[in-house]
Amino acid sequence: MDWIFSVLIIIILLIMLIIFSKLTIRLNYYHHNDNDDLTVQFRIWFGLIKYTMKIPLIKIDDNSPSIVVKRNSEMGNSSENGTPTKVGQIKKDDIMTYLSNAKEILQHVINMNVILSKFMKKIIVKHIEWHSLVGVGDAAHTGTLTGAIWTLKGSIIGMLSHFLRLKEMPILSVTPHFQLAIIQTRITCIFQFRIGYAILAGLKLIKFWKGGRPNLKMNTGYSKEKTNTV
């Protein structure tokens, strides 16, 4: 009987540990003309457990109206060598399916906007850094574009500060290049929240669910063209 009690105590402690643990999400995005590189890393327990997803290629397909995506992922400190690289296409029908499914879920949850708003207020933005280098080959047009990008960045940061909790002032820059046509940007963001808040939001979604099972569409349009070993 004592060992059963001990096991229950250990399980309860593990559950409490998970609930109060903080999940850190680090996002790095780099764009240079036609090249894109996106890395998203999830970490808990000071990096003891981490999962990294890399998307080194995002581009428009030349032969069809779709987006070509190449990605690979790794757990912990495993090397990228030997990690399978998946290449696939996201078509217009895939996007419409995602939007339709999201709308279907929204219709089945009462006050979902309130639930999401309360959860997002628990998310701490520890760091935002956004640098851009732009130019169109003409000084006047480059100056106009630079001002427009500053306005866009200010609007996005203002929206983030309304929904999330910014821990420090964002680091922003827009550098004009008057001689060359170039678009280059680098974004680094670090988000953090307790896993318990996400669990609580999920329980609220279940509690306020109505109307039975949603009629979700299967994503048949997305095609994984090939899987390579890098």
Give the C-alpha separation, 26 to 126, whole Å. Answer: 10
pLDDT tens, per residue, the chain with 230 residues? 677 778 888 888 888 888 888 999 999 999 887 777 888 999 988 878 888 888 766 655 555 555 555 566 666 665 555 455 565 656 556 666 766 767 667 666 667 778 888 888 899 999 999 999 998 888 888 889 999 999 999 999 998 888 899 988 999 999 998 888 888 999 999 999 999 888 888 888 777 777 666 666 665 444 444 444 33
State which residues form the domain around 13: 2-229
Give the C-alpha separation, 84 to 125, whole Å. Answer: 32
| pLDDT, position 222 | 46
How much helix, strand and coil, in percent to the nearest 5, is found in the chain?
A: 35, 40, 25
| pLDDT, position 93 | 64
Q: Nearest 5°: phi and psi at 39?
A: -130, 130
Q: What is the pairing mode between strands 165-166 and 124-136? A: parallel
**What domain count does the chain have?**
1
Give the C-alpha separation, 172 to 177, whole Å. Answer: 17
Q: What is the pTM of this model?
A: 0.70
| pLDDT, position 50 | 85
| pLDDT, position 124 | 92
Exposure b/e, 70-99, CB count within 10 A at least 16 = b: bbbbbeeeeeeeebebbebbbbeebeebee
Within the chain, strands assigned E span 22-32, 35-44, 49-60, 66-75, 84-91, 124-136, 165-166, 171-176, 181-194, 223-229
* Amino acid identity for residue 193 in this structure: F
